[in-house]
Structure formats: C-alpha cells, structure tokens
Structure 1
Amino acid sequence: MNLAKFSRRGYVTTPTPIEALPSFSKALGGKVNIFIKRDDLLPGCAGGNKTRKLDFCIADALDNGADTIITCGAVQSNHCRLTLSWAVKEGLDCHLVLEERVKGSYSPEASGNNFLFHLMGVKSITVVPGGSNMMDEMQKVASGLKAEGKTPYIIPGGASNTIGATGYVACAQETLQQLFDMGLKIDHMVVPSGSAGTHAGIVVGMQGNNAGIPVSGINVSRTKADQEALVYKLVEATAERVGVATPIAKETVECFDGYVGPGYSLPTDSMVEAVKLLASTEAILLDPVYSGKAMAGMIALVRKGHFAEGSNVLFLHTGGSPALYAYQNIF
C-alpha cells in the first residue's frame, strides 16, 4: 500500500497515544491487560476519530473546487461537529442535515454537540425524520446551494466511504509502528462499529500489513448480520482503493450486537457503567453513543472470558465526549 499517493490535508500531524489502563484492567479482574488508542485526542474541535477521515475527504472536496461542505448525522453527531470544525478551519461554508432517529430528540437549545454547531457558526441545520434517505436530503440542500452559485461537496454520514476509510488504513499503519516502537505485542483490537468507515479501515490496514491482529467491532445500532455485511462491503472497496492485493476473507470482519440496547443513541445500564468505570479509574471520558457502548461490549467480553488470560487488548477510543453533556440526567 502506498497511501502517500492520496490527497490529504495533514490534520493528523503526530500519532495519538497508546496508553496502558492498569487500574481499569484491575477493576475488571486483572486477567486481561487493556490498552487504549487515544483518537479522542485528535485535532479538531473537541477531538475524535472523524478527523482522520476528514483529512482525506476535505482534501478531495478542495481538489474538486468546493466552497461548501454538506454532511449528515444524528442530532448529537460527532461527525457533524468535526466536519464543521474543519470546514471552519479551511474557510468553507458547512450545512448539516440531522436525522431525528429518536422522535422528539432534537432541540435547538440542546447542549453537547448541538451547542457546538451553533458556536462554530454552522450555515444551516436541516432536521429530518428518522429513516429518511439522508443522501437524498443532502442532495436537496446541495441543489438549493448550487442555485445560489455555490459549489457544494457532500460527505456521507460518518465520512464512511472509501476516501474516509483510508484515514483508518493509515491509523492501522500508525498503530503498528507505535507497537513496534513500544515493544508491545497486542493480541486483539476492539473498535466501535457504526457507519463502518473506522472498522473497515482498521481491518484493511491490519490485513494489508499482515499484522495478524484480530479486530472485533462492537455495534452501536445494527444487528450482527447487517453490520458485518456493511463493514465487509466497505472493506472490499477500500482494499481495492489502497491496493491490497490479497482478497480479505469475510471472516475477518467480526461484530458483536448485544450491547446496542433499545436502539441507537438510547442509553443502556452497561454503557453508563462503562463510562463511569473508565472515568473513575483512568480519568478518561467516553461518549454515550459510540465509545461508551463499545467499551460496554469489551467489558462484557472480558468478563465472559472471550480473551485468553494474559492477553493484551487494544481498545480504539473514537472520542465523542461532548455528547456527554446532553446526557447529564442519565449519569
């Protein structure tokens, strides 16, 4: 793979830390050694994993002469926050289409990411019902902007296309170099699995580098079968884009769907426990929608003995802590 041939903006200038979590590991019985990759510390307003994807997506937008970015997400979307933040840095207009996946959940006065949308000067917010065709909704916004003489560029939800997923192929390479430099052998990696770009990119990067590190995704919305199909489809397309010659087996994509609870963004007791436990043992904040539920899944796998005793397990922290402030009543 030669990722240098792809346009990027250089938002990721230094590797994010890999930290040991001794107190957290001890609280879970001490049989598994847990490490965390701190992509919550990436640049961009309040950090998070989408910066890696946007590094490539916004480069493509600028290559195509865009002066305006349109993207979509849920009402507390971390992806929308970071897309807006990089658009601001680049001097681009940004319009958001928010899907009200839980009826009545959108409030213009809400805290969390919604507050940050307005603080950073979003050009417009369009709220649509849950289940809407989000690409169609973004195309409607784009049509209106084109009529005004703008040159809009649409970034899909989560920046989860082959362009965005390339950012996590690069993250896998970064991680492997760090592990080499640290002299640290990792036996398993756990990642949140939502719009699929992060999960797919890590799988492609690990496979493309013959790392031999299994990757498990913890679902935040869909069933196991649906999520694995979504991730694998993007794995195949991304592998082709970046030049992975050997086909990647379907079995390489593994998802766990037992930690979604009643639905996307809806709190669960296990998520609350995970957020509180990591905060109280390691002073690291998770978010209630993605990293919190993913950590809840990893905790459950540790307790079930899914990882061999003495294993070193690396959790990818995708960020999102600003959303916590819209969920204060839950905690």
Structure 2
Amino acid sequence: MKKLLLTTVLFLLPFSSQVFSTTRVVTNCADSGPGSLRQAISDLQNGDEIVFDITTAEAGYSTGETSPGLVTNEAGSNTWFRIILNSDLQITKSNISIRGSTQTREASNTLGPEVEVRANSNFNVFVIGSSTSYATIEGLVINKCGGDDGSGAGISSSTGGTNHCYIYGCYIGTTPTGEAPSLKKFAYGIWLTGGANNNRIGGVTTRERNVISGNNYGVYINNSSSNEVLGNYIGTTASGEGKLGNNYGVYISGSAQFNKVGNGESGGRNIISGNTQYGVRIESSSSNEVLGNYIGTDKDGETALANNIVGIRIDGSSQYNKVGNG
C-alpha cells in the first residue's frame, strides 16, 4: 500500500504548482531574435519557465492571416497576438513550462487563448525531445496557415520517450475563437509515439480543457503507454455545441497499452463528437480504457453530434480493452 501511494504522489507532482529557476519572457511576435518565443525556448535550461508579455509596441499589428502581430479584425472585438513560425520549435529541456495564459494585457480574446502560434509550412509546431520529461505547454492556440493540408503536428513527441509531460488549456487545429478550423489542417493535433509514456492531455477542470479539432488525427497515441486524455473537446467547437471534426478523434495503435481516454468521472469526461470517421479507434493495442466520455453528442450529452462512421472501433489484434461509463 505504501508503495502504491508513493507512485501516485510522484505522478501528480508535475501537474501541481512549481517553483522555476529562471523566467524567460516573450515580448514580441517575431520568429527569431531577442524577445521571441524561439529565442526563449533556445535559452531554456532545466527548471525554467516561459511567460508572455507581448505589447503592440514591439509586436505591431497583423495585416492578415499570414501576418504576425496583434490581430484585431477577425473575430469582432476579440483580439490576440499571432506568432508565425518558419520551422518547428524543439523542446529539449526538462521540468519546464510554456505558459500562454500569462499574456494578460493589450490582447483580449473572450473566446480562447490570447497567443496563437502558427506553422507556415509542412512541419510540426512544438517537438518535445526524446529525453524530455515534466514539460508543460498551456494556454496557446496552435494551428497552421501554410504548407500542405494534412501534414505536420501541433505538438509531437520524439521517438525514444517523452515522459510526464502535460498539455492543457490549448486550442489545437482551430482558430483562436475555437469555432472554425485553421487555414490548413495538421496531420496530428497531438502525436505521442515511440515510448512516450505517462503524459497527460487535458485534466479534470475547465481550465485544463483542450479543444482539439479540425485535424486529420486529433490525438494519436502509437506504441506508447499510460497516457491520459481527460476532459477535452475533440471534434467539436470550443462551445461543445457544434461540429468541428477531425478525421479521427482519438487513435490508439502500435501495441499501445494502459492508456486512458476519460476516467469514468464527469471531470475527466471527453466530448468526442463530430469527427468525420471514428470518434475513437483502437488498433492492435491492448489494456486501454475509454470510460465515461460523451461520444457522438454535444457537451451536455443531449444533442446528437455524430461521428460519421462509428463512435468507437476496436480491431486488429487488440484485446483486454475496456469501454463504458466507468
């Protein structure tokens, strides 16, 4: 019993309050140089955090979908800062946090996060390195404005093991309003592969909810174990009332095991609806759980938002998977 309790406490620690060694501040929407997100990530050391304090004095104003700066004319009175990347952002340090929710001035987006990070071609936005653990990405809009449709990932793990990382409060694949798809879709909203274990996507509070919609695969877990997907809207709008489908909502494959989609409780319930193929597919993977989710309905479980082919499909050599209310 003592051993089990210790394991549980250690798993929860990265998702609690942390004290960081150094705070790196993003002050503009440039893709390189002092004050940029890329420079802040390049400067990271183990135990650091990145916060946002962008101003129009440094960032300027966006003049269109492919222009960085403060966006003022795309969603009524809602405004946000747009960063456009020309290559992916590599995260190689551990015990770090990228905190989009710290942007609290000059932008005012009542519909979602106030910092948008866009890929401008066929690459990933964030790549979490193979030796990285306890990294947090929160409070960002992550999407595409260029390149081929259906390529790259919003957040990708590197093959070899990305562990105990935490993604929450993000819009991935949508516009900053969460009500429409981005100009180009990702192949993967979030891609965990090659031994990416014990990571958490979302959580049990409203603040932790990700909206993962408008991608080819919303969440793809391949050959990875003990990951949790909790409390997200996958394939719906940010309101949870309309369709904004991925092709596949959650896809688990490649001998992945012990992953949890929902936890059987209302706080951990995912809304997995409106996807153009399957809500959840488990292929050649075992001992995974899909519990307590609303699949094919709106956020209240009352109005149909069907996944076009089927809600849950389990096939291949899959066995010992558990599906139900909890």
How does the TM-score come out when normalised to structure 2? 0.27
Higher relative contact order (CA 8 A, sep 6+): 1
Counting helix residues as a fraction of each chain, which structure ranks higher? 1
